[in-house]
Structure 1
Amino acid sequence: MRVLLTLPPDIHTLEIYKITGMKAPPLGLAYIAAVLERAGHKVKIIDTPTLEMSTEQWLSEVKSWKPDIIGFSLITPTAPRGYRAIKLVREELPDVPVIVGGIHPTFMFKEALENGADIVVRGEGEYTAAELIDVLERYGFDEERLKKVRGIAFKSKRSEKIVLTPERPPPDLDELPWPARHLLPMDKYTLFGKPIRIIHVMASRGCPYGCMYCSTSYFFGRRVRIRSAIRVADEIEEAVYKYKAKHVVFADDDIGVGRKFMTDLVAEFKKRGLDLTFACGSRVDHMTKEYMKFLYDNGCVALYFGVESASQETLNRIGKKITIEQVERVFQWKKELGGFATASFILGFPWETIDDMKKTVEFAIKIDPDYAQFTALTPYPGTPLYQYAKKYNLIEDTNWEHYTTVRAVMRGFHFTRQQLQSMIKYAYRRFYLRPAFVWRELRAGRLKDLVGVLGREFFSMVKDFVVHPLKWKR
């Protein structure tokens, strides 16, 4: 079968892509493509945001390739444009089956089916997609056979009812082939808006914590599955020689949970003569000073920690399972070791006040990460937060395109949606316009990169600070 895997067209204009300035590969599609190629199918991936592809360009590419099946990968902000693209496929290629997968349709499968998808792949899609396409190739839309494919949803053409098949067990990650990077525009991925020889790697899946705002535990499961260090080293070594990669970004939520994995991986790097730098995320409760030093001493140029709040009560309520003392300790170690670390913070938990949010901003300044990320709490489908926000009627903006974490879509019990949006701007200005911070970035030679990350917002911050200085003394 000729299988076209794609992201929706024209999504590079969405906030989620415009603001970050980053271009990263769709690893999920690349994994599915690798499994399909191994099964003998002909696969094409269209990475539309990286190629900045318009709807017209995308449709022309789709039609010229003449696919037998089209598969879309959707996250919440890209879902509306995905549904529009499905409508176009229906008009131009009415006989081509459309499959939809990804985090958003996994939980909103009814919505996806009502917007033109023939079948929704729920959860991790590699083996589900392979089995599903095998059934479609052999038998077409045979409902009795489709009911035996685990991990899908479809609408019965006889009864008009949605059929939900049993969930598929998560795959053994070491049995999966490496992502099909040869189908991706590997020369176009960037960091800080600059082209850099970089490879994105997923070494594990799953998270045991189940934080109320995060989809990871509910999509990948609560059990952490870690690949073997040798398999990951093999994948990275191939990328070094094939794509001249010099930097690795681990897409895992928490590389700190697998200390043995990282020590083994670093040993593999040394044994193979791989001179690489890498960036990864971790949790403060999984970090020790010795392990942090080990990472910095062996190529880690950036650690990313989810701090979220300055309130211990909030950390407890959201299920984060960390303490303020652990946060302070880790960032003190970072200073002592001279490493680089970013901290993320979430503003707008429903029970917070404006003063609570300001305390989180001040806490960010106190622990003083190299960079700080401030986001608006966003109720993504599939999370406990989504159900909580619906229960208390807190969601005011139902346009999925706005679910980017940079735009407030819900109110709290003590603040309006507009006040939360203002707090996000306040947080960035308060943190980044400190003279000491700007001077530090200048000395480190990173100010240009920072401006690249913040984009026009940086100049807006400076202008607003100069014109309305009293506003930021409140």
Structure 2
Amino acid sequence: MRVVLISSPGLRQLEIYQSIGVRAPPLGLAYIASVLEEAGHKVSIIDASTLGLSVEETAKMALSNKPDIIGISAVTPTAKGAYSLAKIIKEKDPTLKIVMGGPHVSFLYTEALTNGADYVVIGEGERTTLELIEFIESFGDSIEPVNVKGLAYRDKDGQVKLTAPRPLIRDLDSLPEPARHLLPMDKYTLFDKPIKIIHVMASRGCPYGCIYCSTSYFWGRRYRIRSPSKVAEEVERNTEKYRTNIVVFSDDELTLLPQWVDSFVNEIKSRGLDITFTCGSRVSSVSKEMLIKLKRAGCTTIYYGIESYKDEDIEKIGKRITISQVIKAVSWSKEAGIETAGSFILGFPWQTVEDMEKTIRFSIKLGVDYAQYTVATPYPGTPLYRMAKENGLIEIYDWDYYTTVYPVMRGFSFTREEAGKMLKKAYRSFYLRPTFIISQVRKGRLRTLLDIVARALKSYLSHSEETGTNTPKPKKRNKREFDIAAPQKAR
């Protein structure tokens, strides 16, 4: 069958990420595409956000491929774009089947089915999408896909049905490499520089379950990782093919298993790969020895999820790390010659404005090379969403604003506006420090820094609308549209 897969356009997400020149490929769709191609289907991918396409332009491009089925992937801030896209496509061709997938619709499948989706793939998409497409190819609408696991759909009477859960793919090595040949590989940039980058996924899942993160709830609490040789082989093949030595690992946690890291480093060395790469890690997973090995293998920057300045907060969010581990990891990274980027979240419901101030001061004192600040955002499917919902803290229900830089909820003792102001203060405090600017001059990065700061300030730091002080007024909830669908028995 002819299948078009779309990474849905989202105006606000597009604006934020393009404003600082960061564009990354939709690896999830690329994996699904490769599985479908392997089974003999003709597939194309439209990365609408990266290509800067409007909803109308995306629909036109998709329909020009004369597809039998269209698949649309959506995260929360692009959900409305996905729904608008589905509506336009249905208006042009009411018989065309639309499948949606991704974290947002996996948790809000009834919402998706109400807004243009014929089917919703829940959770990991490769096996379910393939089985569904082959089911449609064989049976069309003549019978219901009750035996396709991991699926939501409406029956002939319009009732929402949920099939049995899809087991996780335990052997990630069984998946073919993502279909990069279907992606605009020359469009994926860092800070708008003409730099070719290879993005690689080595693992899926997270065993920790932080209350704000959908990763463990979408990909599962079981940590699964590909074999070191398979990952190194993919790195080697694609750095040669695309003539680059820059690799970004998209994993939340690459270093969870020390033995795996050792084997991977040995694979890189034995293949004689001269690469530079960045990765994400928990501060509790690294050791001084591991970081030295990673540096020798080409690791230049490591991203740590730190989030707060005190253990009490970290315990409440379920992170299972300590400030002592944070300090050690950052120090060891510096000793190894690896730059550090730290994530800090402002505005958890129980925090105060003073807590946010202290988190900002801690991030500066800690000595990370770069800091990413976001506001706590209650994504559907997470414990934070349930907490915020039960306590009446959510004030904005427009998914366009769920980007982590627009406050959508208040706290028990602070307003959305205060959270927005603290986010602006955080970025200005960190990046406009004389010591930081001097450090960038010494590294020869001043021009890049000035460009990034100018873009960021213009995009969401200088405008009251962008920091939550002038976002839409709280609206009465549309219960039908936004409530998480009640669990249903598989049929």
**Same fold, TM exceeding 0.5?**
yes
Q: Which moved more, 1:437-446 or 1:64-73?
A: 437-446
User: What TM-score, normalized by structure 1, do the two folds share?
Assistant: 0.94
1:471 — aligned with what?
Answer: none
What are the within-5 Å matches in structure 2 for residues 428-447 of structure 1?
428-447=427-446
- Give the superposition deviation at 1:461: 11
- The answer to whether the 8 Å contact 1:143/1:156 transfers is no
- The answer to whether the 8 Å contact 2:347/2:375 transfers is yes
State the distance in 2 between where 1:462 and 1:219 align: 31
- Equivalent AA in structure 1 for residue 25 of structure 2: P
1:134 aligns with 2:134: yes
1:369 — aligned with what?
Answer: 368
- Equivalent AA in structure 2 for residue 373 of structure 1: Q
What are the within-5 Å matches in structure 2 for residues 107-186 of structure 1?
107-144=107-144, 146-157=145-156, 159-171=157-169, 172-186=171-185
Q: Which moved more, 1:409-418 or 1:1-10?
A: 1-10
2:85 — aligned with what?
Answer: 85
Higher helix share: 1
- Equivalent AA in structure 1 for residue 31 of structure 2: Y
2:60 — aligned with what?
Answer: 60
- Give the superposition deviation at 1:459: 7.0
State the distance in 1 between where 2:9 and 2:319 align: 36
Secondary structure, in 3 states, of the residue corresponding to 1:302? Answer: strand
What are the within-5 Å matches in structure 2 for residues 142-291 of structure 1?
142-144=142-144, 146-157=145-156, 159-171=157-169, 172-291=171-290
State the distance in 2 between where 1:320 and 1:291 align: 21
1:3 — aligned with what?
Answer: 3
2:390 — aligned with what?
Answer: 391
State the distance in 2 between where 1:245 and 1:150 align: 40
Q: Deviating runs (4+, > 6 A) in structure 1?
A: 459-464
- The answer to whether the 8 Å contact 2:15/2:459 transfers is no
Secondary structure, in 3 states, of the residue corresponding to 2:255? Answer: helix
State the distance in 2 between where 1:120 and 1:103 align: 11
1:24 aligns with 2:27: no
- Give the superposition deviation at 1:95: 1.2
State the distance in 2 between where 1:49 and 1:461 align: 18
1:138-180, CA deviations, whole angstroms, 9 ceiling, x for partnerless residues? 0012443x011000000112x2210001111111201000001
State the distance in 1 between where 2:224 and 2:411 align: 36
2:332 — aligned with what?
Answer: 333
2:301 — aligned with what?
Answer: 302
State the distance in 1 between where 2:284 and 2:384 align: 23
2:475 — aligned with what?
Answer: none
2:43 — aligned with what?
Answer: 43
1:400 — aligned with what?
Answer: 399
Q: Which moved more, 1:319-328 or 1:263-272?
A: 263-272
State the distance in 2 between where 1:317 and 1:118 align: 39
State the distance in 1 between where 2:184 and 2:308 align: 38
- The answer to whether the 8 Å contact 1:10/1:52 transfers is no
- The answer to whether the 8 Å contact 2:10/2:80 transfers is no
- Equivalent AA in structure 1 for residue 57 of structure 2: Q
State the distance in 1 between where 2:26 and 2:454 align: 24
1:234-255, CA deviations, whole angstroms, 9 ceiling, x for partnerless residues? 2112202221131111111111
- Equivalent AA in structure 2 for residue 112 of structure 1: A
- Give the superposition deviation at 1:334: 2.7
State the distance in 2 between where 1:76 and 1:110 align: 14
- Equivalent AA in structure 2 for residue 170 of structure 1: L
- Give the superposition deviation at 1:439: 0.8
1:164-212, CA deviations, whole angstroms, 9 ceiling, x for partnerless residues? 0111111120100000111111112101111212111110001000010
Secondary structure, in 3 states, of the residue corresponding to 2:284? Answer: helix
- Give the superposition deviation at 1:331: 1.6
Secondary structure, in 3 states, of the residue corresponding to 1:341? Answer: strand
State the distance in 2 between where 1:151 and 1:305 align: 32
- Give the superposition deviation at 1:18: 3.2
Q: Which moved more, 1:408-417 or 1:330-339?
A: 330-339
State the distance in 1 between where 2:108 and 2:411 align: 24
Cα pair distance change 1:390/1:230, threshold 3 Å = same
Cα pair distance change 1:174/1:462, threshold 3 Å = closer
- The answer to whether the 8 Å contact 2:146/2:163 transfers is yes
- Give the superposition deviation at 1:127: 0.5
Secondary structure, in 3 states, of the residue corresponding to 1:362? Answer: helix
Secondary structure, in 3 states, of the residue corresponding to 1:334? Answer: helix
1:355 aligns with 2:341: no
Q: For this pair of structures, how many residues does the alignment match? A: 462
- Equivalent AA in structure 2 for residue 205 of structure 1: R
1:470 — aligned with what?
Answer: none
State the distance in 1 between where 2:461 and 2:154 align: 53
CA RMSD of aligned residues (A): 1.8
Q: Which moved more, 1:192-201 or 1:441-450?
A: 441-450
- Give the superposition deviation at 1:229: 0.9
- Equivalent AA in structure 2 for residue 110 of structure 1: T
Secondary structure, in 3 states, of the residue corresponding to 1:191? Answer: coil
Cα pair distance change 1:319/1:462, threshold 3 Å = closer
Secondary structure, in 3 states, of the residue corresponding to 1:285? Answer: coil
1:92-149, CA deviations, whole angstroms, 9 ceiling, x for partnerless residues? 12111000000110001010000010000000000100000000000012443x0110
User: What TM-score, normalized by structure 2, do the two folds share?
Assistant: 0.91
- Equivalent AA in structure 1 for residue 274 of structure 2: D
Cα pair distance change 1:238/1:73, threshold 3 Å = same
* Unaligned ranges ≥5, structure 1: 465-474
1:355-397, CA deviations, whole angstroms, 9 ceiling, x for partnerless residues? 1110101100111110011100000001000000000000011
- Equivalent AA in structure 1 for residue 113 of structure 2: L
- The answer to whether the 8 Å contact 2:124/2:168 transfers is yes
Q: Which moved more, 1:391-400 or 1:333-342?
A: 333-342
State the distance in 1 between where 2:343 and 2:66 align: 44
